Amino acid sequence: MTADRSGVGTVHLVGSGPGDPELLTLKARRLIDSADVVMHDALPGPEIIATIPEEAAEDVGKRANGERTPQSEIDDRIVAHAEAGREVVRLKGGDPTVFGRAGAELSTCIAAKIPVEVVPGVTSAIAGPALAGIPVTHRDHASSVTVVTGHEAPDADAPPIDWEALAQSGGTIVVLMGVGSLDEYTAALADGGLDPSTPVALIERASWPDQRAVTGTLETIVGVRDREGVEPPAVTVIGDVVEAIES
């Protein structure tokens, strides 16, 4: 993406897909196998992480104290590796540009004049529902799908999510990072006029060996989450598509 500088490694922002190693792209597989360093967190899932060559793997997820590694530190490490001439894979769950901070890391590399490329991946926003038998669009049920975060960063500049407009959209709503905040946005959607009987599904660890899906309605799903002990990572799907396919 930027001009090549001799002696500087290239940074590849690579999507891992939702977790099944067979859902990696061929390009992701090749880059993981040949990179000098593969910087990852836990989101690609245990099966894919187990395939990263041991000498290349660098975990930049949670630190020993349980807190997330700050983005600024990850950015610094990416730049340091590339400037030392290493080929860097920054491996991200799903697709790197969907709530994956690819924007920040792209800007960092471009500012540091480091060659960088994006390698798209299969996003959990679409694959998660699909793997649970839910098509995010359907001729008879939904002509649009909106992907939103359930965890709006308080320090971010993006405009806030308009839940009332989403409630009126008539399309499918997919929420990522939305297990803890389920109470708040289901209430906001109901306040915005979405029918309380609208079906809702939570797909936990999509494509991991222990994938699980639970369903309820806008009114009942919080109770379902609590009873079943649903934990991140999970995708929330809201809309008639949840019931489109008879199981």
Least CB distance from residue 147 to ligand SAH, whole Å? 9
CA dist 37 and 137 (Å) reads 38
Confirm whether 177 is a catalytic residue.
yes
Contact residues for 202 (Cβ-Cβ < 8 A; gap 6+): 179, 182, 213, 214, 215, 221, 224, 225, 230, 234, 235, 236
Q: Out of 41, 59, 113, 240, which one is annotated catalytic? A: 41
DSSP per-residue string spanning 25-66: -HHHHHHHHH-SEEEE-STT-HHHHTTS-TTTEEE-SB-TTS
86 or 215: CB nearest ligand SAH: 215
9 or 95: CB nearest ligand SAH: 95
Confirm whether 113 is a catalytic residue.
no
Note the residues at the interface with ligand SAH (CB under 6 A).
18-19, 43, 92-95, 98-100, 123-125, 128, 176-177, 203, 205-208, 232-235
Q: Which two tokens stand for residue 73?
A: 């530190």
In this structure, the dihedral spanned by the alpha carbons of residues 65, 71, 53 and 18, taken in order and rounded to 10 degrees, is 100
170 or 209: CB nearest ligand SAH: 209
8 or 134: CB nearest ligand SAH: 134
Q: Out of 1, 62, 183, 195, which one is annotated catalytic? A: 62
Residue nearest to ligand SAH (CB): 94
Angle at 180 between CA 65 and CA 119, to 5 degrees: 75
Q: Residue 96: name the closest of 156, 14, 191 by CA.
A: 14
Confirm whether 62 is a catalytic residue.
yes
56 or 202: CB nearest ligand SAH: 202
Least CB distance from residue 93 to ligand SAH, whole Å? 5
Least CB distance from residue 117 to ligand SAH, whole Å? 17
Least CB distance from residue 94 to ligand SAH, whole Å? 2
Describe the strand order of the beta sheet including 234-238 as a list of residue ranges.
145-149, 172-176, 234-238, 199-204, 212-217
In this structure, the dihedral spanned by the alpha carbons of residues 68, 45, 100 and 147, taken in order and rounded to 10 degrees, is -120
Chain-centre distance of CA 121, in angstroms?
A: 10
Least CB distance from residue 128 to ligand SAH, whole Å? 5
Which positions are catalytic?
41, 62, 177
